[in-house]
Amino acid sequence: MPNQEDAKKRLKTVEGHIRGVQRMIDDDAYCIDTISQIHAVQSALNKVSTMILEEHLHSCLITAIRGDDPEERERVLQEIIDVFETATKV
């Protein structure tokens, strides 16, 4: 994954934000401020997820689509469908 270092850096930042949210809860911070920080963490994780998905689409998916194995194509496409279905569940 070419953006692996960027993804790791972003995840370290998320880790720090999560510790901050834990401190906010320990310190009984204002609820809306805590929720806002949680949304920031979720947004940062979504960005990392998007980066990884983009890499997958440009590598694994392209390889499967160009390949000769129709079952592999279907498997990779189903994985992407499953990811989107999971992401849209609340």
CATH number at residue 57: 1.20.58.1000
Residue 59 structural domain: 4-88
Q: Give the count of domains, the chain.
A: 1
| HEC assignment per residue over 17-65 | HHHHHHHHHHCCCCHHHHHHHHHHHHHHHHHHHHHHHHHHHHHHHHHHH
Question: What's residue 53's pLDDT?
Answer: 92
pLDDT single digits (tens) 1-28:
668 999 999 999 999 999 999 999 999 9
Q: Which residues contact 67 (CB under 8 A, 6 or more apart)?
A: 73
The first and second tokens of residue 63, run together, are: 């390889």
The model carries a pTM of 0.82
Q: What is the DSSP letter of 3?
A: T
Residue 90's SS3 state is coil
